[in-house]
Amino acid sequence: MPDPITTAPDGAPPVAERPRVYVACLAAYNSGILHGRWISATNADEVRLEVSAMLAESPVPGAEEWAIHDYEGFEGLCLSEHATFDTVCALADFVAEHGALGAKLYSHFGNGLTEARAAFEDYAGQYKTAAEFAEEMIRETGTEIPASLEYYIDWQALARDMALNGEILVIQTGFDEVHVFWNR
């Protein structure tokens, strides 16, 4: 299997192409020996093969148990040391596709991958603020706002009310960067 680490074209430090996990041999660990392997979270079967190969190379004969001792590229998500490889790879796919937004959405739904995936079906877009979304939504409906009332509309309050009423979900991923999802 090729090394999942590459050097960036600008000479920056190596970066992982995909989320990956460090799987350690527990027999070696319990004997005071660090033995394990960084494994790219491509698919569960490949990860299992890599773990089996790592355990076969263990300095402790007959090693069978493993644990995830580290991980990277999961955009801040927390993995259990005994997470299944199916779960790890599903999360890696989701984070690879949706990045930090996917990770925050996953956390918002209490680590519910099914709910986080479903939320993208009602994705309304990226905006500087939720107020910008509320204003755009009202204007796109064709609602005429008289010029004399233009400055009296509190778009931020409207967006806040929409979120509090459960009409929208707002996820902030950076300064001047929010993502809005409809709750339908």
- CATH number at 132 reads 1.10.10
Both 85 and 136 in a single domain? no
151: its two tokens: 């400055």
CATH number at residue 73: 3.10.20.480
pLDDT tens digits, one per residue of 145-158: 999 998 999 999 99
- Which of 98, 132, 149 is the endpoint of a domain? 98
> Are 86 and 63 spatial neighbours (Cβ–Cβ below 8 Å)?
no
**What is the C-alpha to C-alpha distance for residues 67 and 57, in angstroms, rounded to an integer?**
16
pLDDT at 99: 94
Q: Which residues contact 29 (CB under 8 A, 6 or more apart)?
A: 35, 67, 69
With 50 as the cut, is the pLDDT of residue 46 above it?
Answer: yes
- pTM of model > 0.85: no
Residue 12 lies in a domain: yes
Both 129 and 164 in a single domain? yes
Residue 15 lies in a domain: yes
Query: Could you tell me the residue range of the domain that residue 12 belongs to?
Result: 5-98
Q: What is the 3-state secondary structure (H, E, C) of 103-170?
A: HHHHHHCCCCHHHHHHHHHHEEEEECCHHHHHHHHHHHCCCCCCCCCHHHCCHHHHHHHHHHCCCEEE
Residue 131 lies in a domain: yes
**What is the C-alpha to C-alpha distance for residues 184 and 178, in angstroms, rounded to an integer?**
19
Q: What is the dihedral of CA 10, 11, 12, 14, to 10 degrees?
A: 120
pLDDT at 142: 86
pLDDT tens digits, one per residue of 121-139: 999 999 999 999 999 999 9
With 70 as the cut, is the pLDDT of residue 14 above it?
Answer: no
Residue the block writes with tokens 């998500």: 77
Tally the C-alpha atoms within 13 A of residue 111's C-alpha that lie toward its C-beta. 9
Residue the block writes with tokens 């959405």: 105
Both 91 and 129 in a single domain? no
> Are 147 and 124 spatial neighbours (Cβ–Cβ below 8 Å)?
no
Both 37 and 83 in a single domain? yes
